[in-house]
Structure 1
Amino acid sequence: NANDPVESNYYLTRAGSFTPDQNGNLRNSAGYFLSGFPTDAAGATGSVSSTSYNDLSTVNIASYQVQGTPSSRVGVSANLPAQETGPGTTGTAFESTLRYVNQLGGSDALTLSWTPGAVDNEWTVSITDEAGTNYGDATVNFTDSGAGAGSPASYTPGSLPIDPATGVVTLSITNGGTPQDLEIDFGAPGTIGGMTQFSGDYTPPAFTDDGTETGSLERAEMSDSGILFGVFDNGQRRALFQVPLANVANPDQMRSVDGNAYVATRDSGAVSLGNPMLNGLGSINSNALEGSNVDIAQELTDLIQTQRAYSSSAKIITTSDEMLSETLNIKR
């Protein structure tokens, strides 16, 4: 049974073919459940017993989620076409959607709008949200020559709270009882790691967001050290269980049971649990099939020897029978 409190119901096995059942418990074809030590978010099991099964839990992967982390800073890198600015510009804005993680782990969006100005190398950037809130605008001038060509030359705040020295916009977004502070980094003046202006096509922005959405478990992976990791749909990966290895003093004396499992006996000695790859214990090989330990050539050789020995014995019996028959005939 899952989370069985009876220690005598726990078995040891070399086979690790476990799949989730209808309840999310990892179970093999014989119906046995995989047990391990639950870990916290940092991968630690805390204090657990190595001489009993009391701290083990059935490995269940059905109900795991990871809490999202709200975005606090988003970097923006894109190229604005230099030929769009200056006298005669159409003033058509280039828009893009910036997605960030809100305080509940969900995804919200802001619209960045870059409007070319009538002055060469000058743009106006404005930011709005999906509800129509306008966070203001600022003027950005780009360098058109020299070593810093194409990089931001200056930021002039309008109604948009931007730091001229760093090119970072700081927004206070009211999406809960406490507003969420979000920094949007366009790149410092004289650098080309953020926004640039070169001749050619408009390059849609690439965003680097330090937030992560709430994630649901997609799959599980086992490491060589016995840690079962969960991989979540938000890209995160965290430890879920530590699956121990058992150390038995005399494993040849264990009693085998159905389902490729074994039970410790008095002759095999006590069982101690430990983490794989520590204190002389081996590793766990995931997605691997243990090969046969039978030497086919040796077995065929033994079979031939046995067959010849049988033939020789049969010949001896036949000869003895013939000798007995001749002896009886002489007597007659």
Structure 2
Amino acid sequence: MSLYGTMRTGVSGMNAQSNRLSTVAENIANANTTGYKRASTEFSSMILPSGNGAYNSGGVQTEVRYSISQPGATTFTTSASDLAIDGGGFFIVEGANGQEYLTRAGSFVPDSEGNLVNAAGFTLMGYEYEAGVDPTVVVNGFDGLTRVNLASKGLIAAGSTTGSMGANLPSGAAVGDISTTSLVVYDSQGNTRILDFNYEKTAANAFNADGGSIDGNAPSKVAGYQIDSDGIVYVKYENGKLDPRYRIALANVQSPDKLKPESGNVYSQGVDSGVIITGFAGSGDFGEILSGALESSNVDIAEELTAMIESQRNYTANSKVFQTGSELLEVLVNLKR
């Protein structure tokens, strides 16, 4: 056995435990980071060939893994733009560089331009939506996605297109008698218009009709927004009308734990993660979207503190191996004296 080999083995152990302490530190620092996935250090042995009655000590190498597929606890908030995913999938967000990423961090708020942006500055992406018509999804890419923007379009108004009116002629009216009534409708700007109707008795039996609702509405201000479990984003107006604007897109891969972590608690496609598949909440393997909720980190502080103590003790033990090897080497040097 080589004393130099012993010392190298001790250094290898210290480096491995240092890496483990680094992941523990990162996990503890991000214990309150929305959607954060804990990192762990996995160890594997390095064996050197031995022979002629001598043993060559090897070492240890480490690999950092992320528990991306392990969900964190769901906490509820008072903001409708806070989003969590109950099940599989990731939100698709756009970075400042224009590139799309995946994330579980759904703490979105409108920025100065009305775009929904999370705490790390990534913009939520979705498809423009029309009521009753699902947008076309490119299942293996991000084509067609646009930024989810809740900027106010001002007052909303709708012109009247249909309506009905009920009317009765006086019971004693004679044939040829004319009566007049009016009806309020809305033009394309939401202004009220009065339509006058003249009706004449032409036979012994007068017509009768049911109903009276006119469609269209007067101008109304934006009062807020809401997002349903299917990911449809509605702008809500003071008159109670909901205007669907977008449908949030979700994405997933075959091996989420193999995604490549990036700064800002986002992920990009990794070498072994599999291809990215996009779709909508509630379909396939995608979970439902929870509005007014956030996914907490999946860090267990008690577990991290335990790992910290273990790493500290193991680091100390490996340093003792190095120190002992160094002392034995010094004895050999002193033999010449």
Q: When the two structures are superposed, what TM-score results if normalisation uses the length of structure 2?
A: 0.50
| 1:271 positional shift | 0.3
Is the 1:17–1:28 contact (alpha carbons within 8 Å) kept by the matching residues of 2?
yes
Structure 2 unaligned segments of length 5 or more: list them: 1-92, 167-181, 329-337
Q: Is 2:107 the counterpart of 1:17? A: yes
CA distance in 2, matches of 1:216, 1:41: 20
Letter in 2 for 1:52: G
Determine which structure has the larger strand proportion and give its number: 1
Q: Is 2:193 the counterpart of 1:102? A: no
**Secondary structure at 1:259 match in 2:** coil
CA distance in 2, matches of 1:60, 1:304: 47
Instruction: From the CA coordinates, give the structure whose radius of gyration is larger.
Output: 1
Correspondent of 2:292 among 270, 287, 290: 287
Is the 1:74–1:210 contact (alpha carbons within 8 Å) kept by the matching residues of 2?
no
| 1:304 positional shift | 5.1
CA distance in 2, matches of 1:235, 1:241: 18
CA distance in 2, matches of 1:214, 1:12: 39
**Secondary structure at 1:11 match in 2:** strand
- The aligned runs of 1:79-98 (5 Å cut-off) are none
Alignment CA distance shift 1:24-1:294 (3 Å): closer
CA distance in 1, matches of 2:145, 2:126: 5
Please give the per-residue CA displacement for 1:285-314, whole angstroms capped at 9, x wherever unaligned.
Answer: 222122231233433444555566678x59
CA distance in 2, matches of 1:74, 1:221: 34
Range moving further from structure 2, 284-293 or 240-249: 284-293
> Residue 244 of structure 1 corresponds to which residue in structure 2?
249
CA distance in 2, matches of 1:166, 1:68: 29
Determine which structure has the larger helix proportion and give its number: 2
CA distance in 2, matches of 1:258, 1:300: 24
| 1:261 positional shift | 0.9
> Residue 194 of structure 1 corresponds to which residue in structure 2?
none
- The aligned runs of 1:109-258 (5 Å cut-off) are 210-258=215-263
Letter in 2 for 1:56: L
Letter in 2 for 1:106: G
Correspondent of 2:283 among 270, 278, 281: 278
Alignment CA distance shift 1:288-1:67 (3 Å): same
> Residue 262 of structure 1 corresponds to which residue in structure 2?
267
CA distance in 1, matches of 2:140, 2:102: 14
> Residue 85 of structure 1 corresponds to which residue in structure 2?
none
Q: When the two structures are superposed, what TM-score results if normalisation uses the length of structure 1?
A: 0.51
Is the 2:190–2:219 contact (alpha carbons within 8 Å) kept by the matching residues of 1?
yes
Range moving further from structure 2, 295-304 or 216-225: 295-304
Please give the per-residue CA displacement for 1:207-263, whole angstroms capped at 9, x wherever unaligned.
Answer: x76542244543221222111112123321132111111111111121122221111
Q: Is 2:146 the counterpart of 1:57? A: yes
Alignment CA distance shift 1:18-1:108 (3 Å): same
Correspondent of 1:72 among 163, 173, 184: 163
Please give the per-residue CA displacement for 1:66-119, whole angstroms capped at 9, x wherever unaligned.
Answer: 5414273589xxxxxxxxxxxxxxxxxxxxxx9944223535488xxxxxxxxx
Structure 1 unaligned segments of length 5 or more: list them: 76-97, 111-128, 137-156, 169-182, 185-207, 325-332
